[in-house]
Amino acid sequence: MKAYRRARLRESASVADVTDAADREPVEASADSATATQEDITQEIEAISANYAAATRPETMPRLDYPPYRSSILRHPTKDLHHADPETIELYAPVFGLRDVDPLESDLTIQRHGDPIGERIVVTGRVVDGAGRPVANQLVEIWQANSAGRYIHKRDQHPAPLDPHFSGTGRCLTDDQGNYRFTTIKPGPYPWKNHHNAWRPAHIHFSLFGTDFTQRMITQMYFPGDPLFPLDPIYQAIVDPEARERLVAAYDHDVTTHEWSTGYRWDIVLTGSQRTWMEGEDDR
């Protein structure tokens, strides 16, 4: 109750204060959220998980309605999504090219005048559609915290150091085979205000386009073996264990390079393309 009142007070004082506090203390969270313990949240996660284990049809996407992630409580649709057959513009995706993205934007370690602190890594993989066809020459955008778990975003007030040599944002175009590749620094985990002592597992945000508008998606890539996985309500909102695993990159020693960086591989499957491809179209 106290946390809720505090947030409302902020709102009446200044809208900017609320947004500054946005993820640290969500105004729309239930009254007791900021005082919930990790144990409370873990119990909620486990209860949902136990209930799901009884289900037969695997869920492939996160639940939109997942109360352990408090910010979702007032932001998920409560009515059924309306099933629609994609038409006209929905059967196409915007086109990006070399005019949009400089190849250097895929290296997050060379954007400022100096080397960022942390573990240099390469993250690479392939973007394909549901039928396994490469999503070629399409935009991939990433953003992430630095090695200390701090974003340069003004709303991030985590008292960990900013790195003057690291912006944490990158872009690239997939190649003709759908491959993407980024050089970056391994992000650190960071605290947030979902509940008391809440920590997000280290992750890199990925924004992806397919060949159809209907394939547009944003997600998060995680690192193998993170001890925070069972505690994190955002990761656990994907209730199917195999589906969750699809967000975890694999360490790949073939991507690791001698005396330079370690390597991770993460392949991405978009939902199926609905459009019948025309001959020659995929070599654009």
Residues between 134 and 163 that touch another protein (CB under 8 A): 139, 141-143, 145, 151-156
Pairing type for strands 250-251 and 262-265 reads antiparallel
Tell me the window of 12-20, 45-53, 109-117, 174-182 that interacts with another protein (CB under 8 A).
Answer: 12-20
Q: How far apart are CA 142 and CA 268, in angstroms?
A: 14
Q: Is 272 in the site for another protein (CB under 8 A)?
A: yes
* Catalytic-residue membership of 205: yes
Beta bridge partners of 248: 222
Of the candidates 255, 235, 256, which has an alpha carbon nearest to the alpha carbon of residue 244?
Answer: 235
Q: Is 274 in the site for another protein (CB under 8 A)?
A: yes
Specify the residue, 256 or 274, whose C-beta has the smaller distance to another protein: 274
Structure tokens at 180: 């993407």
Tell me the window of 37-45, 46-54, 174-182, 265-273 that interacts with another protein (CB under 8 A).
Answer: 265-273
Catalytic residue among 6, 24, 181, 205: 205
Residues between 220 and 239 that touch another protein (CB under 8 A): 220, 234-235, 237-238
Q: How far apart are CA 168 and CA 153, in angstroms?
A: 10
Question: Taking the complex as a whole, how short is the minimal distance between the CB of residue 260 and another protein, in angstroms?
Answer: 25
Q: How far apart are CA 121 and CA 222, in angstroms?
A: 13
Q: Is 265 in the site for another protein (CB under 8 A)?
A: no
Q: How far apart are CA 42 and CA 25, in angstroms?
A: 19
* Catalytic-residue membership of 203: yes
Q: How far apart are CA 243 and CA 93, in angstroms?
A: 25
Beta bridge partners of 269: 128
Q: Is 27 in the site for another protein (CB under 8 A)?
A: yes
Question: Taking the complex as a whole, how short is the minimal distance between the CB of residue 35 and another protein, in angstroms?
Answer: 19
Residues between 53 and 82 that touch another protein (CB under 8 A): 58, 60-64, 66, 69, 71-79, 81-82
* Catalytic-residue membership of 155: no
Q: How far apart are CA 169 and CA 204, in angstroms?
A: 10
Residues between 185 and 214 that touch another protein (CB under 8 A): 205, 207, 213-214
CA 148 to chain centre: 18
CA angle 104, 110, 115 (to 5 degrees): 165
Specify the residue, 17 or 256, whose C-beta has the smaller distance to another protein: 17
Q: Is 42 in the site for another protein (CB under 8 A)?
A: no
Q: How far apart are CA 179 and CA 238, in angstroms?
A: 25
Inter-residue contact 273 to 129 (CB < 8 Å) = yes
Specify the residue, 27 or 228, whose C-beta has the smaller distance to another protein: 27
Return the residue of 12, 131, 159, 278 that touches another protein, per CB under 8 A: 131
Question: Taking the complex as a whole, how short is the minimal distance between the CB of residue 17 and another protein, in angstroms?
Answer: 10
Q: Which residues are catalytic?
A: 151, 190, 200, 203, 205
